[in-house]
Amino acid sequence: MSKNHPLPAYPVAPDGLTVEDLLAYDRIIVAFSGGKDSVACLLHILSLGVSKDKIELWHHDIDGNEGSELMDWPVTRDYCRKFAEAFELPLYFSWKEGGFEGEMLRNESLTRPNRFEMPDGTIGQAGGVRGKKNTRMKFPQVTANLMTRWCSAYLKIDVCVAALNNQDRFHEGKTLVITGERAQESSARAKYEVFEPHKADRRDGKRVQRHIDAWRPVHKWTEEQVWAIFEAFKVNPHPCYRVGFSRCSCMPCIFGNADQWATVKKLDPARFDKLAAYEADFGVTLKRKVSLPVLAEKGTAYTMSAEEVAIAMGREYHEPIFVEEWKLPSGAYGESCGPV
């Protein structure tokens, strides 16, 4: 955080880990989507007094880095960059080669490699050279099962694990990985552990030692608490919230309802048409019981200004990260349509 924006006096109620516990970690990684819950995680640990020297932000590009523009909000990548600069924190991008679209179009082929930025400026790579060839040729389906809803597993969770498994720096010391799942979002997420060993942990390994824990610091928070810490820090939220969305997931999220899909069609007709064309090609609709064109026709697009649309759909983010007069965005407390 810049010297012009000191930490606010925010009432902190630690859940799961104390300040003393956090001081024991050599590095703390915040899985940073740019959405409200990942931002709240960062603000929370800063409120607890964690030194910025320990913190890294990791952003997983859902569309990859090879030119696909099917799922991410156009502004997300630069919003995350500007956010990290404002807070004076390192930001590392990681992705599945080909992103969502490449994985969806797998046809008797291996999954592609995972790639990740490293502190020395190089790009690491892991996976994609062995395993079982298979075919997807359909969208991930709306379910809590991560094998069927493969977007979360293949484009976020596995990418993070690959980046942890394939950097020698994690063989030394203790690492904490923070994610922003909240129990309020779904019955499935309500069952998540607040604190547990991470999937990449190998503290008892014979050849490789990695002490990596996973913590969900806002797991028990309400949405009201999330927006309260935004207001305390005067942080300008991701532009998607100002055009009516209540979650900063993919822009055309598979969980979206009729109103959200009508809004996607309004925001980016060409993208919507491409998604609908994939449904027709696959012969399997994203929602199973209804096609995207029919679903969007049933909905009403959110009301938004041309200025707000331009910001959300731009590739560069030019607004301030800190604002003097903070306002609750129109998407707050809206239709979450999150993981079931």
**Segment 240-253, tens digit of pLDDT:** 999 999 999 899 99
**pLDDT band for position 194 (cuts 50, 70, 90):** very high
Query: Has domain 19-236 been given CATH number 3.30.70.3450?
Result: no
At residue 7, the pLDDT reads: 59
Tens digit of each residue's pLDDT (9 = 90 or more) over 262-279: 999 999 999 999 999 999
Q: Which residue has the higher pLDDT, 154 or 204?
A: 154
pLDDT > 70: what percent of the chain?
94
At residue 16, the pLDDT reads: 67
Q: What is the mean pLDDT of residues 206-234?
A: 94
Each domain of the chain, given as residue ranges in start order, spans 19-236
Q: How far is CA 177 from the centre of its chain?
A: 14
Using alpha carbons, list the distances in angstroms from residue 39 to 30, 87, 229, 287, 317.
9, 11, 9, 30, 17
Return mean pLDDT, the chain: 93
At residue 288, the pLDDT reads: 85
At residue 249, the pLDDT reads: 87
At residue 146, the pLDDT reads: 76
Tens digit of each residue's pLDDT (9 = 90 or more) over 306-339: 999 999 999 999 999 999 999 999 999 998 666 5
At residue 1, the pLDDT reads: 53
Q: CA nearest 270: which of 60, 74, 34?
A: 74
At residue 204, the pLDDT reads: 87
Q: How far is CA 9 from the centre of its chain?
A: 27
**Hunting for tokens 């799942």 — which residue is that?**
181
What is the crossing angle of helices 269-282 and 258-267, to 10°?
120
pLDDT > 60? residue 6: no
Spatial distance between the Cα atoms of 241 and 8, rounded to a whole number of angstroms: 23
At residue 329, the pLDDT reads: 97
At residue 4, the pLDDT reads: 53
Backbone φ, ψ for residue 296 (5° rounding): -65, -35
pTM of the full predicted structure? 0.94
At residue 107, the pLDDT reads: 97
Residue 231: both structure tokens together: 């207001």
Tens digit of each residue's pLDDT (9 = 90 or more) over 127-169: 999 999 999 999 998 877 777 899 999 999 999 999 999 999 9
- Judge residue 64's burial from the number of C-beta atoms within 10 Å of its C-beta, 0-12 exposed, 13-18 middle, 19 or more buried: buried
